[in-house]
Structure 1
Amino acid sequence: MALSLVSSEASCRVPALFADVKNLIAAESTRHGGVSPAPFASLNLGINTADQPVNVDENRRRFFAAIGASADQLASSYQVHGTEVLYALEAGRYEGYDALITNKPGILVGVTVADCVPILIYDAKQQAVAAIHAGWRGTVGQIVTKTLACMQQQFGTRSIDCFAYIGACIDECSFEVGLEVADQFDPACKRQDETTGKYFVDLKKANAQLLVKFGIPEAQIEISPFSTVINNRDYFSYRAENGNTGRMLAVIGIKNKQIVAGTVI
């Protein structure tokens, strides 16, 4: 499925899976439409980069305005490539979590990425959401499974009610790893080049497997066709840009209910 552009500068994309869900905000940013100079050009949303904070603040203002929200609605964390999950009851900046869940309207949960996999989950029955940051360590640690288990415990989430989006990240042909990393992945999610003997891992496929194994129907899973490396003109890539680059944001949240002319919408 194609993703929808939501601004004239293509500053962010809305997963087609969520595009018609009226009470949901869900989007991932691109690198376009911001004010940051190279090497962070231009919509760098990463707080923990060497970019000027004033640039990041303005970029975040633009991104959230494009999706009809504000930066002070965001719950996020300083990510550590772990598998800890935070139940976010209010917006704010946390530390030590690579996944956030919430069922509180008006709060957006989000993760920053620049090659790692952003995963957004929507429980349509319980009106709960999750944002997950899955690098290779988080993928091997099954952070997707742990996040869904937390949603099940906190909200009564059922897999049949969930819709999941796997966002833009490093592609299989660009993600070369050593044998010690490759050995931790299912054979279906890795490949050894017959000529060079080098190993490559497919993080999108590995995380999609975890979603399906938990019970989410494949028809309710969307996988971005974009690669942070191949499509580096549109996305930041830590590996392609030797670590000196910006960050994208992937966010999701339930909208606050509004009362218009006595009707809740």
Structure 2
Amino acid sequence: MQTASFRTPSIFTPFLNLIAAESTRHGGVSQPPYSSMNLGINTDDEPANVAENRRLWLANWQLDESNLASSYQVHGTAVQVATAAGRTTGYDALITNVPGLVVGVTVADCTPILVYDVRNRAVAAIHAGWRGTVGGIVTKTLGMMQETYGTTSADCRAYVGTCIDACSFEVGHEVATQFNENYITTNPSTGKSMVDLKQANTDQLRDFGLSDTQIELSPYSTVLNNTDYFSHRLEQGFTGRMLAIIGIR
């Protein structure tokens, strides 16, 4: 993989009016263990470094914090209808149809999902950890888009982003039992259960009616591609955060 500071999902590239990207860990000013493009406010990194990273990264699209709506994420399923920039608390998904406003979520193993409603020019940014995935946060977000903007499956394009991979996400029995068995494999060396967050969230998109041609899955893993992405689990909590954003120009 290239060492650029962001990756634009190819499913969104035909839409010139759209800004959509997922950051990598490259191109910033933070020092180890947050090196180098740490975009997470709630880390023990130097706040000045995080602020500079965010300034540098958002400038790729001539944006700054005054264009970004986000939330302090709580691993829940609440969805915010964002109408203005700023940072709230308690939401793990944000939707908007306001031009010039981008919505974003931070991740470091959890799954970022970006959705674009082409006809209604509305977008969603979703943060899905295991709790949010079990709680159906993708389903709830799409339902909120349908209720708010008239979104239908035929008009959507979606990106299921870089997260911890199925062969690295080992969980205990109490977590494994909350997932459909289709998303569980067994680690032959430990006997522990492994969860596939990408597939679990992809299936929520499919259940809403999106076809596979409307969905792109990141080929990368926060664990297997740790030189390019932050992994909270692999780096034992001492790491940065990526940011995934989407919005209408």
- State the TM-score, normalized to the length of structure 2: 0.98
2:236 is equivalent to residue 242 of structure 1: yes
Give 3-state SS (helix, strand or coil) of 1:251's partner: strand
Give 3-state SS (helix, strand or coil) of 2:132's partner: helix
Question: Does the CA contact (< 8 Å) of 2:65 and 2:85 recur in 1?
Answer: no
2:79 is equivalent to residue 88 of structure 1: no
Give 3-state SS (helix, strand or coil) of 2:157's partner: strand
2:53 is equivalent to residue 59 of structure 1: yes
Structure 1 residue 195, shift from structure 2 partner = 4.5
Structure 1 residue 184, shift from structure 2 partner = 1.1
Q: Could you tell me which residue of structure 2 aligns to residue 24 of structure 1?
A: 18
Structure 1 residue 70, shift from structure 2 partner = 2.0
2:49 is equivalent to residue 75 of structure 1: no
Q: Could you tell me which residue of structure 1 aligns to residue 215 of structure 2?
A: 221
Q: Could you tell me which residue of structure 1 aligns to residue 190 of structure 2?
A: 196
Q: Distance in 2 between matches of 1:220 and 1:99?
A: 20
Structure 1 residue 53, shift from structure 2 partner = 1.0
Q: Distance in 2 between matches of 1:171 and 1:28?
A: 17
Q: Distance in 2 between matches of 1:194 and 1:47?
A: 38
Give 3-state SS (helix, strand or coil) of 1:191's partner: strand
Q: Distance in 2 between matches of 1:160 and 1:181?
A: 33
Q: Distance in 2 between matches of 1:164 and 1:64?
A: 21
- For structure 2, the residue ranges without an aligned partner over 5 or more in a row are none
Q: Could you tell me which residue of structure 2 aligns to residue 121 of structure 1?
A: 115
Give 3-state SS (helix, strand or coil) of 1:209's partner: helix
Which amino acid is 1:120 matched to?
Answer: L
Structure of greater Rg: 1
Give 3-state SS (helix, strand or coil) of 2:49's partner: helix
Structure 1, 131-140 or 69-78: larger mean CA deviation: 69-78
2:149 is equivalent to residue 161 of structure 1: no
Structure 1 residue 188, shift from structure 2 partner = 1.3
Q: Could you tell me which residue of structure 2 aligns to residue 49 of structure 1?
A: 43
Give 3-state SS (helix, strand or coil) of 1:122's partner: strand
- For structure 1, the residue ranges without an aligned partner over 5 or more in a row are 256-265
2:192 is equivalent to residue 182 of structure 1: no
Q: Could you tell me which residue of structure 1 aligns to residue 97 of structure 2?
A: 103
Give 3-state SS (helix, strand or coil) of 1:219's partner: helix
Which amino acid is 1:104 matched to?
Answer: V
Give 3-state SS (helix, strand or coil) of 2:35's partner: coil
Q: Could you tell me which residue of structure 2 aligns to residue 37 of structure 1?
A: 31
Deviations 1:33-56 (A, max 9, x none): 000000100000000111111101
Q: CA RMSD in A?
A: 1.1
Deviations 1:10-67 (A, max 9, x none): 0000000011210000001000000000010000000011111110111011111123
Deviations 1:163-206 (A, max 9, x none): 00011000001000011111111111111234432100000000
- State the TM-score, normalized to the length of structure 1: 0.92
Q: Distance in 2 between matches of 1:195 and 1:166?
A: 29
